[in-house]
Amino acid sequence: MSFTIITLDPTNYLDALVFQENFFNAQLEKKDNGEKTSDTLIFLQHTPVYTLGKSGDINNLKIPIEETGAEFYQTKRGGDITFHGPGQLVVYPIFDTENYGIRVREYVTKLEQCVINCLADYGLKGERLEHASGVWLDADNEKARKICAIGLKVSRGISMHGLAFNINTDLNYFDHIVPCGLDDKSVTSLEKELGKKMDFFEVQNKLIAQFQKQFKS
């Protein structure tokens, strides 16, 4: 395996951000010093929070944050507004894309492919949607719905932030926002698609296996 895996207990967004930034800054420092970087894959669930990407529109939060039962943070990742909370698998790869000989677009494609392959294990066809990152079901028609969001920050090849995969997520939280700024699309979860509560850590282990396949240095 070419990266270290860390699994955290449920964590609020700010604590997880500081945790990520420590790894991210350490890898940038290694690059500055001409040292070999190392890669870390962080898995966790967040306490309920809405985050807004640097190019996002705050108007995509449809009601006052005080009425949502969640926290709110503006971030430096790409993308618009999204929700993180219990039952959602959040993955933060602190990766040096140069270790894998890929550029940012290829990196995003690999992240998407990890989720697409994981979904296939459950009989679902994950797809990409043109001009929109993440993983979708029925991407080519009016039933298109997002099951995994992706938002990244990449500096000198080092990535942070990552993906949010809805497993047993309470989808009611998404009613308070225009998810990812797309008002004509909906959001779904494995639980909703398969009609039953999923074994969260079984899904996580399947996703880890896909990362091990996709990211071999």
Tell me the catalytic residues: 180
**Do the bridges between strand 71-74 and strand 49-52 make them parallel or antiparallel, or are there none, so unpaired?**
parallel
CA dist., res. 30 & res. 195, Å (int):
47
CA dist., res. 86 & res. 154, Å (int):
26
Give how far Cα 81 sits from Cα of 47, 58, 78, 134, Å: 16, 8, 10, 13
